[in-house]
Amino acid sequence: DTGVSQDPRHKITKRGQNVTFRCDPISEHNRLYWYRQTLGQGPEFLTYFQNEAQLEKSRLLSDRFSAERPKGSFSTLEIQRTEQGDSAMYLCASSSTGGFEQFFGPGTRLTVL
């Protein structure tokens, strides 16, 4: 399977805990995006990487959120001290430079109790 993969698919955590999600983009795609989707809403942009460089961050990405793409391949999104409002579907997408079309992974559904 050469599509975008995300792990885990589901995560249940207690308020105040830290969680980390992983995204593996399509190989050779150097652009990687994170989005967040809450119930009944469309996905909202969180952050964007070109290779290993994080080039844009949304105001939605508070200080408790951090994203990395250390070798320009997979990416991780960490949420520290989770809050109930962090409950959402976290989606990852990738695209190639010069190609606009983004391909999405299956998402990680986070539930904060």
Partner 1 sequence: KQEVTQIPAALSVPEGENLVLNCSFTDSAIYNLQWFRQDPGKGLTSLLLIQSSQREQTSGRLNASLDKSSGRSTLYIAASQPGDSATYLCAVYTGANSKLTFGKGITLSVRP
Stretch that binds partner 1, among 11-19, 21-29, 32-40, 62-70 (CB under 8 A): 32-40
Q: Which is nearer to partner 1, 14 or 59 (CB)?
A: 59
DSSP-assigned letter for residue 57: E
Least distance (Å) between residue 44 CB and partner 1: 7
Q: What are phi and psi of 44, to 5 degrees?
A: -120, 135
According to the binding rule CB under 8 A, does residue 54 interact with partner 1?
no
Least distance (Å) between residue 81 CB and partner 1: 26
Contact 94, 32 (CB under 8 A): yes
The one among 40, 59, 70, 84 contacting partner 1 by CB under 8 A: 40
According to the binding rule CB under 8 A, does residue 96 interact with partner 1?
no
